[in-house]
Structure 1
Amino acid sequence: MATGLARPLARSLKGRMFGTAAAAKPKNADEREPLGFVKKLENGLVVGTIESKSPIARIAVVANAGSRFETGQNLGVSHVLRHLPKLRTENLSSLGIIRRSLQLGSDITSQGNREYIYYKSAVTRNVVAPIVEILQELTTKSKIVDWEFEDLINDPNGLKLDLALLKTQPQIRAVEALHAAAFRNTLGNSLYSPEFQLGKFTSEQVAHYLKTYFSAGRLALIGVGVDQQVLEDLGRTFEPYKAAGAPSQQAVYAGGEIRENSGGDLAYVAVAFSGPSQVSSDLLPAEVLKHVLGAGPYIKYSLGTTSALGKAAAKATDGPFAVSGFTANYFDAGLFGFTAVAPSQSIDKVLRAAAKEVKSLLTSGVSDAQVNAAKNRLKAEICMNFENPENILSWLGEQSLHSNSIITPHEVYKMVDNISTADVNKVAKAIAGSKPSIGVTGNTSNVPYLDKLFS
């Protein structure tokens, strides 16, 4: 314990030391930005990390094995693989997977899109290694046995529940229909298994797809808030399947129309043209163009009538509606358009007004003021997306499998700042030259057909 004499002496020394110390130079945005690292290991596994100040580490194994790689014979198999954590591995039973993850204070979730399947977990940093071992078992040591696989297919809380929930989400079905109309196969394959396939899948079929696409060069171990060297050492224990994967079929935009009349009071519509791919220099200008159209309400519970699309629709009808710009971008193709929801009796007016506004912007071009405002909205959207570490994890996974470096969020902001009005008008002209596509669900009786909508 300090004596009475020591305390003032200590205070005196403390004051002198602070008084003579040079002021620390404040870091600029680039220096504060957490850096990303990516490396392909000798075993073919890709390892990617981004540092974080959070005490929680987020880990994932991502496979380039989404629904676009399915064929007519195994349609829906990627949906089945999203339920892979329910099946045993070479060294762990399904109960063992649950028990071990709970003991670590974590859980394992799976997600999938048209290009990737993710198996994710969030843990404290001191138990990264054990959770990676479980993810390794799931993705490289799967052991699908017939009786467990049959239980999985017939589980009312599994794939059947997913399909039952899909029936209650017409807005998702409209976007699924749009993809099918636009691309037919590849990116047109649904994220969900067709119901007629549930009784036709075999354990051998699923195992073959897994071993084909969870293979060297198509599999990545990624982490947010994990040291790169730690993750590399863990990655070296992986043994990805040796199959190189079937050659990827190029996605070809065809354009078309799919309508699914499921009745009800509302009509749900998704309309799009051919848009830029993820690797295209037109990607961010197209996102700016989307925000010129309007990407939904900017104020919670507002009517969303301040955007270009919202204003056009509000002039056409006095009834309720929702309309928003829409983009979907993939490695080799993309979509650009809008989505709309309205009562059946007014959907025709809403769609025609929105289509006219889109056509006008694509052909007449946009102003500097419109572009500057849209760039600010886009940067705000990017910032808010990156506040969620789950989004950063997914973003890291996609970059790790297709790039030798990781673009940081701050670099993305700079790219947006450098977009000119000429860049936006250039991509608008390219989009306008493509054939439109449309996906419709709900009450389709008053939805205009594609040839009438853009005539």
Structure 2
Amino acid sequence: MTSRSPETTARTSPEARAVARTQTLLEGRDGIGTVRRTTLPGGLRVVTETLPTVRSATFGIWAHVGSRDETPSLNGATHYLEHLLFKGTKKRSALDISAAIDAVGGEMNAFTAKEFTCYYARVLDNDLPLAIDVVCDMLTGSLIRQEDVDAERGVILEEIAMTEDDPGDCVHDLFAHTMLGDTPLGRPVLGTVDTINALTADRIRRFHKRHYDPTHLVVAAAGNVDHHQVVRQVRAAFEKAGALGSPGAEPVAPRAGRRAVRAAGKVELLHRRTEQAHVILGMPGLARTDERRWALSVLNTALGGGMSSRLFQEVREKRGLAYSVYSYTSGFADCGLFGVYAGCRPSQVHDVLKICHEELDRVARGGLPEEEIGRAIGQLSGSTVLGVEDTGALMHRIGKSELCWGEQMSVDDMLARIAAVTPDDVREVAREVLGQRPSLSVIGPLKDKQADRLHEVVS
């Protein structure tokens, strides 16, 4: 997991700190899968993974800012800013940005999460210089004009409305609020109608300036790429924009801290006239840096990660009570969540929740048999490999790893960590996580008597 094979070793003098530092983080085989990192003098990091057997490349820039960095009045600003960086720069209009990538058959997009934001483009390898120029231009030269803020406001309000019209999506925001309350992690990434209507171009520009300096950014590229060429092109783009930062500045460290999620026995019900009731039964999980996360991933896979999982078999296959039922984990820098989701007819809510609660309690008390653990390890190992079989997934892995952990782990290393999980590891994490008193979030047309009974589930 740790960095290896330094190609240039940084000294402590001011002159040395103004020199780019390059390291080989992972050695590939025959040049395939080699991961390198260069830290530029202003703190900008460039990480690449070389895959010379493909004809494509994905280029992305990760920003160390997410919705958890917002104050209550700024809720939604990170996502709003993501939209605005596509609206035009000093040298490109919004149409120019999209047309440049469309003209070479590429794909361009972005996403905002609670702890980071990513902008990326996937193109043919020959068109990588264009993708670098366009994405870097967006990050360093965006105008963020008031007229663009006003125009995009309607788009974001429609996105909020679209999410609220999808209760299967909205219930995850409700669960975050149930577990984390009115905190930055508990508030929605998109913001609310009130906060979006109150945001101005000036406030968003200040937010951009504070969180998008080079020390907060990681550039990641994967595919048929040459590391040193990517570094030169990125450096030239940032230099031309006057955005390389101060010589000697160091990258911000990955988020750290220890936040306790103490929600237990809470119930939140949002009445909606829907055909189904959407429920999440869950409890505090593990932070993404917790070494027990590998055992939790195996446990999660066995419980609700596929068609052979316990919850799928018990709720859907044996009883036909739900079409969609699964478990999942969310890990943040300092805390985590574990949840079980199901969508079912309102009349079946209590039966579904009773089965799910009983299964969680059974596993918390007795763990899982070796057969189920072995199947889960195999499923998780296969999905890990299949999940990084394209350049976009590779870019996502190395960019997020650099930003969130400050180090890289090869697929072989990940498979080894998964394979090393023992029944005792799973039993211990099941007892700690699943043994907690759960909380419950529900969206649907439940009648008063049904709603009153929800507290029985978490008592």
Which interval holds the TM-score relative to the shorter structure? Answer: 0.7 to 0.9
Partner Cα separation in structure 2 for residue 153 and residue 269 of structure 1:
31
Partner Cα separation in structure 2 for residue 414 and residue 320 of structure 1:
35
**SS of residue in 2 equivalent to 1:439:** strand
- Superposed, 1:228-247 pairs within 5 Å as 228-237=227-236, 238=238, 239=243
- Contact residue 67 and residue 187 of structure 1 kept, 8 A: yes
Shift of 1:170: 1.0
Partner Cα separation in structure 2 for residue 452 and residue 313 of structure 1:
19
Of the three residues 195, 201, 204, the one matched with 2:193 is 195
User: What are structure 1's unaligned runs of at least 5 residues?
Assistant: 1-28, 298-305
- Contact residue 47 and residue 400 of structure 1 kept, 8 A: no
TM-score, normalization by structure 1:
0.84
Q: What is the root-mean-square deviation of aligned Cα atoms in Å?
A: 2.6
Q: Give the match for residue 22 of structure 1.
A: none
**SS of residue in 2 equivalent to 1:438:** strand
What amino acid does structure 1 have at the position aligned with 2:312? G
1:253 aligns with 2:269: no
**SS of residue in 2 equivalent to 1:347:** helix
- Contact residue 85 and residue 139 of structure 2 kept, 8 A: no
Partner Cα separation in structure 2 for residue 245 and residue 36 of structure 1:
20
Shift of 1:318: 4.9
Of the three residues 203, 206, 210, the one matched with 1:205 is 203
Q: Give the match for residue 3 of structure 1.
A: none
Larger radius of gyration: 1
1:294 aligns with 2:292: no
TM-score, normalization by structure 2:
0.83
Q: Give the match for residue 266 of structure 1.
A: 276
Partner Cα separation in structure 1 for residue 212 and residue 279 of structure 2:
35
Q: Give the match for residue 292 of structure 2.
A: 282
Q: Give the match for residue 457 of structure 2.
A: 453
**SS of residue in 2 equivalent to 1:50:** strand
Q: Give the match for residue 126 of structure 2.
A: 126
Cα separation, partners in 2 of 1:145 and 1:322, compared to 1, 3 Å: closer
Q: Give the match for residue 24 of structure 1.
A: none
Shift of 1:350: 0.7
Q: Give the match for residue 162 of structure 2.
A: 165
Partner Cα separation in structure 2 for residue 449 and residue 56 of structure 1:
55
Partner Cα separation in structure 1 for residue 130 and residue 114 of structure 2:
29
**How many residues of Structure 1 are paired with residues of Structure 2 in the alignment?**
416
- Contact residue 269 and residue 340 of structure 1 kept, 8 A: yes
User: What are structure 2's unaligned runs of at least 5 residues?
Assistant: 1-26
Partner Cα separation in structure 2 for residue 159 and residue 241 of structure 1:
31
Cα separation, partners in 2 of 1:296 and 1:441, compared to 1, 3 Å: farther
- Contact residue 85 and residue 97 of structure 1 kept, 8 A: no
Single out whichever of 163-172 and 386-395 deviates more from structure 2: 386-395
Partner Cα separation in structure 1 for residue 286 and residue 419 of structure 2:
19
Shift of 1:342: 0.7
- Show CA shifts across 1:14-63 (max 9, x none): xxxxxxxxxxxxxxx97376132233221211111111221111001111
* Percent identity between the two aligned chains: 19
1:175 aligns with 2:155: no
Partner Cα separation in structure 2 for residue 137 and residue 250 of structure 1:
36
Partner Cα separation in structure 2 for residue 250 and residue 423 of structure 1:
22
What amino acid does structure 1 have at the position aligned with 2:151? D
- Show CA shifts across 1:160-217 (max 9, x none): 3312321332111111111111122132121222122232110011111111111232
Cα separation, partners in 2 of 1:91 and 1:318, compared to 1, 3 Å: closer
Partner Cα separation in structure 2 for residue 240 and residue 164 of structure 1:
39
Q: Give the match for residue 10 of structure 1.
A: none
Partner Cα separation in structure 1 for residue 282 and residue 104 of structure 2:
45
